[in-house]
Amino acid sequence: MDNIVTLAGHIVTLMYIAFGVIICFWGYKLFKLSVTVAGVLVGYWTGSFVMLLLARYAGFAKTGVGVYIVPLVFAIVFGALAFAFYQKAFIVVVAAIITRILIRSAMLAGFLEDTDFKIRLVVYGLCIMVAVIVAVGCFLIQKGAIIFVTAFGGAALIWMAVVKYVFRLTGFVDFFTNLVKKIFDTNIKPSGAIGGLLILGFGIAGFIVQLKHSD
C-alpha cells in the first residue's frame, strides 16, 4: 500500500511538471488545452481540500489511496467542464490558480504565520479579489494578458512540483541562503527566494517563447 501511495505521489508530481511546462510555453497557442489542464489542476486542489476537511471533521484517513482517488475524480470532472465551457471557464480557472499562487506567496512571505483569524480572512479575501480582477482583465485584454498569466502560472506550477525535491539539496539551499543574505543583507526565507527566482526565470522564458510563436 505504501508503495502505491508513493507511486501515486510521484505521478502527481510529474503531472504538475508536465502541465506546468505546457501552460508556461504553449499556454496561448494551446488555449483550450491549457484551460482544460488548468481545470484538472483546480479540480485536484478542490478534491484535496475536500479530503482535508473530511479527515479533519469526519474522521477519514489522512493517508492511503483514497487521498488520491477523490482528488482524481474532482480533477476529471473539473477538467471535463473546463473543456466543454473553456471560454466561460477561463475566468474561474485563472482566478483559482492566481488565488492559490497569491495565498502560497503570502504563506512564504510569513503573512499567515501566527496571525489572527480575522487577519487571515482579510488576506484570503484580498487574494481572491485581486485574482478575480486579474482574471477578468486577462479575458478582456486577451492575447498579451493570456500569454503573461499562462507563462508565469505554468512557472508557478513547475515550482510547486519541484519544491520538495529542491529542499532535499541541503548544501545548495544553505549556499543560496547565505548568498541572498550577502547580496541583499536580509534574512529572506530560502523557499521564497529560490521559488521567486525559478518562477521569474521560467515565466520570462515562457513569455518570450509564447510571444514569438503566438501568430
**Secondary structure of the chain in HEC code, one letter for each residue:** CHHHHHHHHHHHHHHHHHHHHHHHHHCCCCHHHHHHHHHHHHHHHHHHHHHHHHHHHCCCCCCCCHHHHHHHHHHHHHHHHHHHCHHHHHHHHHHHHHHHHHHHHHHHCCCCCCCCHHHHHHHHHHHHHHHHHHHHHHHHHCHHHHHHHHHHHHHHHHHHHHHHHHCCCHHHHHHHHHHHHHHHCCCCCHHHHHHHHHHHHHHHHHHHHHHHCCC
Residue 205: per-residue pLDDT: 92
pLDDT, averaged per 10 consecutive residues of the chain (215 residues), comes to 59 80 85 80 82 72 66 86 76 76 71 67 82 78 78 84 71 67 60 73 90 77
Q: Model's pTM, two decimal places?
A: 0.60
Residue 212: per-residue pLDDT: 85
Residue 57: per-residue pLDDT: 67
